[in-house]
Amino acid sequence: MTRKLYWEDMYCREFDAVVTASEGGRVVLDQTAFYPRGGGLVSDTGTLGGVKVTEVLKEGDEVFHVVETPGALALGQAVHGSIDWDRRHKVMRMHTTAHILCAVVHRETGALITGNQISPDESRIDFNLEDFNRERISDYIKAANEAVARGLEVSSFFMKREEALKMPGLVKLANALPPSVDVLRIVKIGDVDTQADGGVHVGNTREIGEIVVERTENKGKNNRRLYFSLRQPAGRPAR
């Protein structure tokens, strides 16, 4: 099983590891800071031993690094990994923003998430809503930006599944429950949101910047799609 350094320290940019499997262009390490694609989030990219990592995938407890040069990394080889930090931090900011937006919309309407795509430059969330007019969107974004500006601490911890699912508002995905595992990872954003989640986040909402609505779409009778981007906070470099 791959040790997931991205859960232990989401600000880990470089790390050392050993290749435990290498077949074609897919490489497995004993530990990794590369976040794999999943949950609507794109994967990290970067380099392993100087070889470009184009995508990262997760299957069960294993994390597979797709490298540009198949066969370049051998079983048992010690490698130094480096993630594309600019890309990662953008995704972290976007992902924490998505949680805040979902919490605000859920609080005001009871709507659940029917889909999402978190990317570095623009992201989207789908809600099971019949109505999503301009005035309401402005109110939701204003409330979300006010939460961001409060400088909320973001933390994660693990809980037994049966205990975690007793927490109100833990599940905000339509027709979905967290994976059937005994222990769930929980992400808490101040007093705004608590969800079962396996993704990467910023440590404080001050890193997010300003949430900007790009456009909205009607994707069906009860499905409204919101696209958003972020303006970089002034004078707050990523730590």
**88-231: which CATH architecture?**
2-Layer Sandwich (3.30)
Q: Where are the domains of the chain?
A: 3-83, 88-231
Q: In sequence order, which residues have a C-beta less than 8 Å from that of residue 209 and are 6 or more positions away?
A: 93, 148, 230, 231, 232, 233, 236
In angstroms, the first-to-last Cα distance of the chain is: 29
The pLDDT averaged over each successive group of 10 residues in the chain (239 residues) is 94 98 95 95 97 95 94 96 97 97 92 92 92 86 97 94 78 60 89 92 97 89 91 67
SS3 126: strand
- The pLDDT value recorded for residue 32 is 98
**Domain 3-83 matches domain 88-231 at the CATH topology level:** no
- The pLDDT value recorded for residue 234 is 64
- The pLDDT value recorded for residue 44 is 98
Instruction: Tell me how far apart the alpha carbons of residues 92 and 94 are, in angstroms, rounded to a whole number.
Output: 5
- The pLDDT value recorded for residue 60 is 83
Whole-angstrom CA distances from 89 to 11, 79, 119 are: 8, 23, 11
- The pLDDT value recorded for residue 150 is 97
* CB neighbours of residue 47 within 10 Å: 17
* CB neighbours of residue 142 within 10 Å: 12
Helix (H) or strand (E) holding 106: helix 85-109
Instruction: Tell me how far apart the alpha carbons of residues 200 and 38 are, in angstroms, rounded to a whole number.
Output: 11
CATH number of 3-83: 2.40.30.130
- The pLDDT value recorded for residue 202 is 97
- The pLDDT value recorded for residue 157 is 93
